Amino acid sequence: MAERERDPVGGYLTTGHEWDGIKELTTPIPGWWVTVFIASCAIALVYMWLYPSFPATTGFYHGFLGWTSKGQLAEELKSARAAQADWRQRLMAVPLEKIEQDDELRRFAVNGGHAAFNENCAPCHGVGAGGQNGQFPSLIDDDWLWGGKISEIQQTIQHGIRNDDPDTRQSIMPTFGEILSTDQIDQVADYVLTLSDPGKSATRSNMPGSSIFAENCSPCHGEQGQGNHDVGAPRLNDTIWLYGGSKDAIKRQVTRPRMGVMPPFGAKLDESLIRMLAVYVHTLGGGER
């Protein structure tokens, strides 16, 4: 076998491969690189021994230290809870309606409520609490189905709407498509559209839908369409609509009403956190006094 060529500049042997006059050398890996590689392998083996690392047929290797990310989170939450203990005790000791009068307590409640809102409420009501048109109500305006006082907000958060909680808020809008004729539904929709138009106040009572509304709708929504917090009946005399304010949308809701459901958070969140949520929502801009 012929002896391989040696590079005259670096003194390294060539592989015998050549491309356009460029010859490939058999340059050895630097010693420092080999040392670092071996050290990295050793560190990886130690890490695999100390921490959960590889699966087995019936589970996984738990590691010599017994560490888990879930356990670390539990410890961090425990520490955070201990650090907040005094503040939570103050929050529970003060009447709910007076929390916002204490600037420090209000800041604590709003910050905690904001975090809890993003985790529990934002998927439906949105990160900014603006709601989702046609599905979930906005919490930043002054329209409230069940009341916007802080105690009413707390009640709604704790027990929810139309669920299995024994203290949940319940109401049912009749399916008027089975009660009224198509013409009557058309007439009452025309009438409802005028409730938010001050220019129609003088002629509104002469409309065919006026008597239909008075007989079928006013017991819940009020004679002037002002709504009723006791039964969760929305206002009809403003321009805020959950399921749409066009005539067709109103007719659909009258014919076959949609009614939202909210889960009760009393079983998921502790009372102090529910108070924080109530304060946060109440301070978003639309809370009632």
Summarised one tens digit per residue, pLDDT across range 242-254 is 999 999 999 999 9
Which alpha helices (H) appear in 122-244, and where do they start and end? 122-125, 150-159, 182-194, 208-216, 218-221
Cβ proximity of 275 and 282 under 8 Å: no
Q: Backbone dihedral region of 16: left (phi > 0), alpha (psi from -120 to 50 degrees) or beta?
A: left
List pLDDT tens digits, range 73-116: 999 988 988 888 999 999 999 999 999 999 999 999 999 999 99
Task: Give me the pLDDT at residue 224, please.
Answer: 93
Helix (H) or strand (E) holding 25: strand 22-25
> Which band of pLDDT confidence, cut at 50, 70 and 90, is reported for residue 2?
low
Domain locations in the chain? 1-50, 176-255
Nearest Cα neighbor of 262 from 165, 117, 194 is 165
Percent of the chain with pLDDT over 90: 78
Q: What is the pLDDT of residue 97?
A: 94
Q: Which CATH number fits domain 176-255: 1.20.210.10, 1.10.760.10, 3.30.70.260, 3.40.50.10090?
A: 1.10.760.10
Cα separation, 24 vs 27, whole angstroms = 9
pLDDT bracket for residue 54 (50, 70, 90): confident
Which pLDDT does position 133 carry in this prediction? Answer: 85
State residue 236 phi and psi, 5-degree precision: -120, 0
Q: How many CB atoms lie within 10 A of CB 231?
A: 16
Higher pLDDT, 80 or 182: 182
Angle between helices 247-255 and 182-194 (to 10 degrees): 130
The pTM (predicted TM-score) of the whole model is 0.75
Residue 83 pLDDT: 86
**Distances in whole angstroms, Cα of residue 35 to Cα of each of 29, 43, 255:** 10, 12, 78
User: C-alpha angle 243/169/285, rounded to 5°?
Assistant: 60
* Residues 284 and 131: beta-carbon distance below 8 Å: no
Give, as one character, the DSSP assignment of residue 6. Answer: B
Evaluate whether 161 touches 147 at the Cβ level (below 8 Å). Answer: no
- For residues 118 and 279, the answer to whether their CB atoms sit within 8 Å is no
Mean model confidence pLDDT for the chain: 92
> Residue 285 above 90 pLDDT?
no
**What pLDDT is attached to residue 1?**
52
Query: What separation in angstroms does the CA of 246 have from each of 51, 176, 178, 189, 242?
Result: 61, 18, 22, 9, 11
Q: What is the mean pLDDT of residues 182-187?
A: 97
